[in-house]
Amino acid sequence: MRAFVTVGLDRKPFLRLLQLVDLAVERQLLSRETLVQCGHTDFCSRNLTIVKFLPFASMLEAVKKAELVITHAGVGSVLLCLQAGQQPLVVPREGDRGEHVDNHQLEFAEVMEAAGKVMAAYNKKEFFRLLEQASAWCHNLHNVREPVLEPELARTIKALIGNRFLNTL
């Protein structure tokens, strides 16, 4: 399975996820064409193509073209996947491991998983179980894409700004 992997823009490293991805290539669950955007995590592997940051347009392309997107449970990365019609496999950053300021990514992953928006892995075992499951589904994944509508929050804020400010400018 050809994956695109990103750990977001956070300054804190997320080595754990990249090591899991590397291991998954060794176990042949992921293809050697897997592209990793490592951001601020320093990581080297001969199994993977690793770039620090792709230009944003190229990253969008990579997300759209990947058979699976693997990412941290950051809202930017997850939203990007959903907008591109991808159901990502997320591994939340944990505060206790120094991967983020606190454990809010764990809560976010749980809720998004319960809503059926993402697949979430909280440990190594689950990561590999979900990867196997995703390989089985791989051909079907691209059928679940849906168009992106304007989110409710955007309408709320526009209405608020429109009513209170724009009319008086």
Stretch that binds other proteins, among 16-24, 28-36, 130-138, 150-158 (CB under 8 A): 150-158
Backbone angles phi, psi at 138, to 5 degrees: -40, -45
Q: Which of 19, 31, 133, 156 binds other proteins (CB under 8 A)?
A: 156
Q: Is 57 in the site for other proteins (CB under 8 A)?
A: yes
28: left (phi over 0), alpha (psi -120 to 50) or beta: left
Q: Build a one-symbol-per-residue string for 112-131: x at contacts with other proteins by CB under 8 A, - elsewhere.
A: -----x--------------
Q: Is 157 in the site for other proteins (CB under 8 A)?
A: yes
Q: Is 41 in the site for other proteins (CB under 8 A)?
A: no
Tokens for 109, please give them: 């992953």
Q: Which of 2, 23, 33, 54 binds other proteins (CB under 8 A)?
A: 54
Are 71 and 14 in contact by the 8 Å Cβ rule? The answer is no
Tokens for 122, please give them: 């909280």
The rounded Cα 165 to chain-centroid distance in angstroms is 36
Stretch that binds other proteins, among 14-22, 103-111, 121-129, 132-140 (CB under 8 A): 103-111
Least distance from C-beta 54 to other proteins, angstroms? 7
Least distance from C-beta 99 to other proteins, angstroms? 12
**Cα 153 from Cα 143, distance rounded (Å):** 27
Least distance from C-beta 74 to other proteins, angstroms? 8
> 7: Cβ–Cβ under 8 A, 6 or more apart, which residues?
14, 17, 18, 37, 38, 39, 40, 41, 71, 72
Give alpha helix (H) positions in the chain. 15-26, 56-65, 75-83, 104-114, 124-141, 152-164
Stretch that binds other proteins, among 27-35, 42-50, 68-76, 137-145 (CB under 8 A): 68-76
**Cα 124 from Cα 130, distance rounded (Å):** 10
Residues that bind other proteins (CB under 8 A): 9, 11, 53-57, 59, 73-76, 79, 82, 101, 104-105, 107-108, 111, 117, 151-157, 160-161, 164-165, 168-169
